Amino acid sequence: MKRDKWLRAGIKLLDNGFNFCVLMLFLLLFLFSSYAIWDSEQLYATGSSKKYEVYKPDKKESKSFEELTMLNSDVFGWVSVFGTQIDHPLVQAQDNEKYVSTDVEGNYSMAGSIFLDYKNAKDFSDFNTIVYGHHMEKSAMFGDLDLFFDQDFFEKHPYGNLYFDGKDHGIEFFAFMEVDAFDTSIFYTPVTGDEAKNTYLQTIQQKSMYTRPMDISINDRLILLSTCTENSTNGRHILIGRIVDQVYPDTFQEAEKTVHKKNFISGLFQWEKHGWLLMVLLFLLLLGLLLLIMKLKKKRR
């Protein structure tokens, strides 16, 4: 009898221990998922153009931009692509590694910054200037460049703005391409010499998915906005424009600067997919608690 009593007590202890472990597992999953969602939102918030809009140069007041340059001397300009969320300060370092994981305030960030190739001149006097930025969801950083993969979108969004040396300059976009990250015929800067410049322009025409009829010459200054693609490890999307003195107005309304337009259903299951995951885990946690309580009540009876 005594042996049976100790055996039942041991089984009960193991059973309670197992139930406790299961409960703790649900709780840890819930906490981990909550942190992962929070961390993801922080990352996208860091890469969003909204974070730095207070520093954006304005014709009437540039004090905020000056404050940003005082905070980080590598900040020197601003680039905007009209009709998208691409609206970011520009930085340049002594290499192309620093701002892959550093924000414009000099802090570590997986979102990085929008940065100029270290070999290019800050005054955009080179024939071709390359600007890099991470491809991110929710239109963060250069995430909206893939919108130009749609030819209709490309045709309806021909302008942007480039601020440097205390002045605004227009950007006239004329080509969009998808190339390999190691394609030196495109990722070569600065291109010098008339023959090399002509060859470079021909290469752009040959490799572009879409082009806009424009009289581009070797006397123009080109800007290439480059980011990763989703469908290839080494793939790169590049939006190419010509820098001009004429400043174009942003004719797109704020409502049209959307984060990858989606209908209600797709937005519900994609944009808030992390929220659904959290809800499922919360349900499982509550279900586990309910089953545990029911089991304990049954034992007491």
pLDDT in tens, 242-279: 999 999 999 986 545 544 444 444 444 444 445 556 66
Alpha-carbon radius of gyration of the chain: 27
In the predicted structure, residue 51 carries a pLDDT above the cut 70: no
Taking residues 273-295, report their average pLDDT: 64
Residue 80 DSSP one-character state: E
Residue environment code for 236-253, b if the CB has 16+ CB neighbours within 10 A, otherwise e: bbbbbbbbeeeebeeeee
pLDDT in tens, 90-134: 999 999 999 999 999 999 998 899 999 999 999 999 999 999 999
The residues spanned by each domain of the chain are 2-44+268-300, 58-256
Q: d(Cα 150, Cα 9) in Å, to the nearest integer?
A: 69
What's the count of helices (H) and strands (E) in the chain, helices before strands?
Answer: 6, 9
Q: d(Cα 107, Cα 168) in Å, to the nearest integer?
A: 27
Q: d(Cα 187, Cα 136) in Å, to the nearest integer?
A: 21
CA atoms within 13 A on the CB side of 212: 20
DSSP string, 33-74: HHHHHHHHHHHHHHHSGGGGGGG---SS--HHHHHHHHH-TT
Region of residue 85 (phi > 0: left; psi between -120 and 50: alpha; otherwise: beta): alpha
Residue whose C-alpha is closest to residue 82's, from 231, 219, 216, 257: 257
This model's pTM is above 0.85: no
Cross-strand pairs, 77: 90, 164
Give the CATH number of domain 58-256; options: 2.40.260.10, 3.30.70.80, 3.40.50.170, 1.10.3720.10: 2.40.260.10
Cross-strand pairs, 199: none
Burial of 227 (0-12, 13-18, 19+ CB in 10 A): buried
Question: Would you state the structure tokens that stand for residue 216, as one six-digit string?
Answer: 């581009």
Taking residues 35-61, report their average pLDDT: 56
Q: d(Cα 176, Cα 210) in Å, to the nearest integer?
A: 5
Whether the CB-CB separation of 157 and 149 falls below 8 Å is answered with no
SS3 65: helix
Residue type, 135: H
Residue 137, pLDDT score = 82
Residue 139, pLDDT score = 83
Task: Report the Cα 18 to chain-centroid distance in Å.
Answer: 44
Residue type, 39: D
Residue 44, pLDDT score = 44
In the predicted structure, residue 201 carries a pLDDT above the cut 90: yes
Task: Report the Cα 134 to chain-centroid distance in Å.
Answer: 5
pLDDT in tens, 138-187: 888 999 999 999 999 999 999 999 999 999 999 999 999 999 999 999 99
Task: Report the Cα 198 to chain-centroid distance in Å.
Answer: 33
Angle between helices 2-47 and 273-300 (to 10 degrees): 160
pLDDT in tens, 204-230: 999 999 999 999 999 999 999 999 998
Contacts of 290 (CB under 8 A, 6+ apart): none
Q: Which one has a higher pLDDT value, 58 or 59?
A: 58
In the predicted structure, residue 61 carries a pLDDT above the cut 70: no
Residue 30, number of CB atoms within 10 A of its CB: 16
pLDDT band of residue 57 (cuts 50, 70, 90) is confident
